[in-house]
Amino acid sequence: MNFIESSSNTSETPVKLFVQDVGQGKPVVFIAGWPLSSEMWEYQFNVLPKHFIRCIGYDRRGFGKSDKPWDGYDYDTLASDLNAVLEELDLYDVTLVGFSMGGGEVVRYLSQFGDKRIARVALISSVVPFMLKTDNNPDGLPKEMFDGFVESAEDDRPKFLAEFAKSFYGNSFLNSNVSDEILIWHNALALQASGRATSRCIRSFSETDFRADLAEIKIPVLIIHGDADKTVPIEVSGQKTSELLPEAQYIVYEGAPHGLFITEKERLNQDLINFIGGIVHEDSDLNDDDEDNFASSVGNL
């Protein structure tokens, strides 16, 4: 397993972050959503390397195979972790892809560290610009709702996460967008996190205002959001982000829930390939040897 150490002012002890690095070509760094790890990107990592796209994912501190410290779940520290990954791998001309909570890391990184390493960013079902209802953000979601999430997570985390997963993918009594087995897989990934990280990150993604961060972005942006997202409603997030970034490419997935990296995986993969500039397999000059070379570079997730 590959780990990168990240140091921050929250602790003298570096935090080890688990990193996946798959394929060759244009580098893309994927930042996972809460409460999952980089393994959530399985169906992207299985496809994009075939299009000369190098897929890099890391487990956020407190989640997956990364270290699980007590503190450091604020976005300034999380952006520093992303910077550590980019610096250690010496990446340039990068596409950052942030899902849900991961969208916050993307925009906070750009406001703190600039875009010298970054070519473009994609915000998928993202929590930006600001989730919380306040006097100057009246369309946000009530703090009492997030307080309830924290209380439930700290009281019975497995039960809370299992119930949360159903709406994450738009499952209901009369409608199953994903199989029971996908929900089991989702919950297994979520339970790898520490309880502390699970609850502290609820506070971070719900209470952090990214509107000033968005104003610093000067590179191409792709916004993708499902209009049936009950976890991060499009009216609070994707729509407002598109208004703050009028030059961004904004794609609405009609009828799609929050977890569209699973429910809309084929469409999402193609939209990412188009945005990144990957070579479309059907139109490329790849021969069998080329395909074998790329397959050998993928390895196991």
Please, which residues have CB within 8 angstroms of residue 297's CB and are 6 or more apart in sequence?
Answer: 22, 23, 24, 49
Contact 79, 204 (CB under 8 A): no
Question: Which pLDDT score is estimated for 260?
Answer: 97
Q: In a 10 Å sphere around its CB, with 0-12 CB exposed, 13-18 middle and 19+ buried, how is residue 83 labelled?
A: middle
Please provide residue 201's backbone torsions phi and psi, each rounded to the nearest 5 degrees: -70, -25
Distance CA 73, CA 104 (A): 12
Distance CA 16, CA 226 (A): 33
The pTM for the full model equals 0.92
Helix axis angle, 143-155 to 195-207, nearest 10°: 180
Question: Which pLDDT score is estimated for 9?
Answer: 59
Asked if pLDDT for residue 284 goes beyond 70, the answer is no
Active site residues: 100, 229, 258
Q: For 222-274, how does the pLDDT look when each residue is reduced to its tens digit (9 = 90+)? A: 999 999 999 999 999 999 999 999 999 999 999 999 999 999 999 999 999 99
Element (H, E) at 223: strand 221-226
- Under CATH, domain 2-277 is a member of which superfamily? Alpha/Beta hydrolase fold, catalytic domain (3.40.50.1820)
Question: Which pLDDT score is estimated for 11?
Answer: 60
Domain boundaries, the chain: 2-277
Contact 166, 66 (CB under 8 A): no
Helix axis angle, 101-113 to 195-207, nearest 10°: 70
Cα-to-chain-centroid distance, residue 190: 14
Distance CA 162, CA 209 (A): 28
DSSP-based three-state secondary structure for 57: strand
Least confident of 51-65, 102-116, 277-291: 277-291
Question: Which pLDDT score is estimated for 174?
Answer: 75
Per-residue pLDDT, averaged over 119-140, amounts to 98
In percent, the amount of the chain with pLDDT more than 90 equals 88
